[in-house]
């Protein structure tokens, strides 16, 4: 019996073309030369509330605080020097029409600095004094808010709203911050829930869990900041979407060769 001659064996040309095209597309994607990401989603609102005075800020002004929103450590009934003296923030993304539940979603924030209180000098009279540092220690909690974050909703009574709709909510994520700069938080589960049930989309709530020193405030760049440093949602395509894209391009090229 004669053996099989591999020298005369060849795969169909369309089979080789499809696999070569797919391999090339995947290689380009892994090297960063090919991107099929959806467009990022900019925030429709970012704001913060100072708990003690119930003052609500959507756009800060002045040289020191312009283009920022502030998030402080939750201090309620724990330290008489700072009790209630902290900020919490809300970020909304009202238009999610361009997103699907496929792939991951990340909340991108830019931390400007750590606002830390200076030592309290005995008999000092006047407003607190602060340092603004590029490094620090702050644990940030992110939740999916349970109600609309607006001045009217947080004003009366703020204590009940805060506990029910922010601090008492299940955490989407917690992240430790040690240096100013850009970072991303996986918020896929919350955003996918909003895509399926748009009426539950009240945005994200941000609050500090721990900090060192106590009463540190994390200052983030807001929507009003220059150079597009404000918060955005970044969708990441699912692997299946990338594969489908690759096969579609290869098939289109194959058909073009036939015509």
For position 73, which CATH number holds?
2.60.120
What pLDDT score was predicted for residue 236?
Answer: 87
What pLDDT score was predicted for residue 19?
Answer: 57
Residues in the chain predicted with pLDDT less than 70, given as ranges, are: 1-38, 120-126, 155, 237-259
Contact call for residues 121 and 144 (beta carbons, < 8 A): no
Name residue, tokens 């994520």. 173
Q: Return d(Cα 86, Cα 207) in angstroms, integer.
A: 9
Q: Is residue 185 part of a domain?
A: yes
Q: Is residue 248 part of a domain?
A: no
Contact call for residues 82 and 215 (beta carbons, < 8 A): yes
- Whole-angstrom CA distances from 221 to 70, 119, 197, 237 are 9, 26, 29, 26
pTM for this entry? 0.77
Contact call for residues 174 and 140 (beta carbons, < 8 A): yes
Helix count and strand count (H, E) for the chain: 5, 13
- Whole-angstrom CA distances from 138 to 6, 175, 180, 203, 212 are 65, 8, 11, 22, 7
What pLDDT score was predicted for residue 14?
Answer: 56
What pLDDT score was predicted for residue 245?
Answer: 42
Which of 230, 224, 151, 236 minimizes the C-alpha distance to 191?
Answer: 236
Q: Is residue 59 part of a domain?
A: yes
Q: Is residue 250 part of a domain?
A: no
Contact call for residues 89 and 48 (beta carbons, < 8 A): yes
Q: Return d(Cα 215, Cα 85) in angstroms, integer.
A: 8
Contact call for residues 49 and 155 (beta carbons, < 8 A): no
Q: Return d(Cα 38, Cα 69) in angstroms, integer.
A: 27
Q: Number of structural domains, the chain?
A: 1
Residue 137 is part of which domain span? 41-118+128-240
At residue 72, what are phi and psi to the nearest 5 degrees? -110, 175
Angle at 213 between CA 210 and CA 218, to 5 degrees: 65
Q: Is residue 75 part of a domain?
A: yes
C-alpha dihedral (125, 127, 131, 136), degrees to nearest 10: 110
Q: Is residue 233 part of a domain?
A: yes
Q: Is residue 79 part of a domain?
A: yes
Q: Is residue 30 part of a domain?
A: no
């Amino acid at each position: 019996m004669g053996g099989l001659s591999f020298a005369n064996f060849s795969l169909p040309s369309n089979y080789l073309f499809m696999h070569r095209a797919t391999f090339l597309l995947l290689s380009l994607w892994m090297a960063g030369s090919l991107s099929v990401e959806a467009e990022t989603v900019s925030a429709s609102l970012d704001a913060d509330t100072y708990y003690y005075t119930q003052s609500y800020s959507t756009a800060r002004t002045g040289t020191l605080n312009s283009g920022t929103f502030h998030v402080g450590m939750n201090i309620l009934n724990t330290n008489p020097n700072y009790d209630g003296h902290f900020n919490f923030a809300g970020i909304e993304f009202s238009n999610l029409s361009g997103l699907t539940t496929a792939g991951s979603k990340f909340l991108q924030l830019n931390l400007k600095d750590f606002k830390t209180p200076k030592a309290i000098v005995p008999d000092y009279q006047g407003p607190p004094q602060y340092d603004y540092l590029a490094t620090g220690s702050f644990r940030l909690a992110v939740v999916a808010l349970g109600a609309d974050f607006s001045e009217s909703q947080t004003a009366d009574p703020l204590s009940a709203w805060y506990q029910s709709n922010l601090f008492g909510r299940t955490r989407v994520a917690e992240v430790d911050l040690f240096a100013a700069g850009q970072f991303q938080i996986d918020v896929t589960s919350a955003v996918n829930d909003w895509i399926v049930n748009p009426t539950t989309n009240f945005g994200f709530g941000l609050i500090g869990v721990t900090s060192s020193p106590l009463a540190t405030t994390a200052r983030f760049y807001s929507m009003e900041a220059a150079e597009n440093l404000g918060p955005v949602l970044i969708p990441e395509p699912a692997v299946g979407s990338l594969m489908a894209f690759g096969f579609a391009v290869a098939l289109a090229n194959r058909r073009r060769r036939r015509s």
